Amino acid sequence: MSTPYSCILFDLDGTIVDSAPGITATLAYTFEQLGLPIPTPSELLAYVGPPILDSFRDLAGFTPEQSQEALAIYRPQYLEAGVHDATIYTGLPDLLRAIHASPVPLSLATSKPELPATLILEHFSIASCFDVITGASADEVRSAKADVVAEAIVRLKATGADTSNPVMVGDRSHDVHGAAANGIPTIFVEWGYGSPAEQAGTVASVKTAAELQGLLLG
């Protein structure tokens, strides 16, 4: 099989799964536990996708200390109650299995820590489709998308994968910018959380999984 790309990196939230319900419910719980007003549903949705500490800083205006306090509330609650409150997008299981059956190596590249990311993939029986599962480190030191993408490439290389012509698949501008920081183009999925403006700088945008499969596997 002749394929356009030598390896593929996939974002998770908003790209493979709609994980917003579990994330926003956990955020609401976090703000409540902190004794702060709970943001509106649309405000909470803006937290979905970027690294959580960045969102606490940029959207809630938290100091680093406040962000760590919020994270200490958020993380155990999300693992206990929020992680499985997600649905997989139409066509994604078949697409990921088609990639797995092809010669093209596949890595997850998510700003979500690797434990909850893996739990989600296992919940939908698609973890085995990935050669590498790359996410934020547990301490969030590696959470910026550019760092996650770089780590995914390192791990793919370690498996012997050809990383000469990679592509990122994502739904938010931080996916696009994080990939670009590593010289990697992005295909934008329109079913996620990103606005049309966030497509800027991508090589293509797709409306369906079938359309995406055509671009990834030829």
Residues identified as active-site: 11
Cα-based distances in Å from 198 to 46, 80, 169: 13, 32, 13
DSSP 55-95: HHHHTT---HHHHHHHHHHHHHHIIIIITT--EEPTTHHHH
List the one residue out of 117, 107, 84 whose CA is nearest residue 184. 107
Spacing of C-alpha 143 from chain mean position: 11
CB of 47 closer than 8 Å to CB of 23? yes
What H or E segment, with its residue span, contains residue 108? strand 106-113
According to DSSP, residue 13 is labeled: B
